[in-house]
Structure 1
Amino acid sequence: MEKNNKKQTGKRSYGSLFLKKHSMSRRGEKAIYVRKEYHERLSRIVQVIGGGDIPLYAYLDNILKHHFELFSEDIVEDFYKRNKPIL
């Protein structure tokens, strides 16, 4: 299983990708809702692996940043398939 994890994250460790200091100085202006079990799991990851040094909002922002980098071409392709121009 570790082999698949390394493939997804490259040669960097999980912590160096997602549990790093963040440029956001505070939480964003929007609230999001996640399943209770996901919130509990995310909070534990931040507390245990991250040592409590990174806020949950920064961890989530890092996850989303990686997701968009990894899937940007697919997202754009699917967007244009479903949003064809009129002319």
Structure 2
Amino acid sequence: MAKKLDVDIDPGKFLDSFRPEMPAPAAHENAGTDGDAPGGATGETEKVPAKAKKEVEYLKRFLHAPKIPVCSGKTAYIRKGYHERIQRIVQVIGKNGLTLSVYVDRVLEQHFREYEEVIRRLYKKNYEDIY
């Protein structure tokens, strides 16, 4: 006979975990950051130690609700170890508030923003026109 577990499950969150990502309602877009994200500009961050500032920046940049759906993308394979690590980050730090795909999308968005000039230069350097 199966063992009965006493687990408190929120049915709304459970059903939402199967629904596609939807954009946040009427959020003001500001260069990839969300004004409603944790650690907004309230002036309090100047009094916070550097480690705490980094934590707030990380949460704000990578672990907030998505503005645009990510589910319409393509499949990409990643290492098993990275998948497990990202899944734990999303579940524990993100409190299951977003999907692994949203997190990976945010990391890539930051990478492309940070290295855009380098990528453009390297692309132009290596690109050969067919005509």
> TM-score band, normalised by the shorter chain?
0.7 to 0.9
Q: What's the offset of the Cα at 1:31?
A: 0.5
Q: Equivalent residue for 2:66?
A: 22
Q: Which runs of 4+ in 1 moved over 6 A?
A: none
Q: Equivalent residue for 1:56?
A: 100
**TM-score under structure 2 normalisation?**
0.54
Gaps of 5+ in 1: none
More helix by share: 1
**Corresponding pairs, count:** 80
**Root mean square deviation of aligned Cα:** 2.4
User: CA 1:83/1:26 → structure 2, altered by over 3 Å: closer, same or farther?
Assistant: closer
Q: What's the offset of the Cα at 1:15?
A: 1.1
Q: What's the offset of the Cα at 1:13?
A: 1.8
Structure showing greater relative contact order (alpha-carbon pairs closer than 8 Å, 6 or more residues apart): 1
**TM-score under structure 1 normalisation?**
0.79
Percent identical across equivalent pairs?
Answer: 38
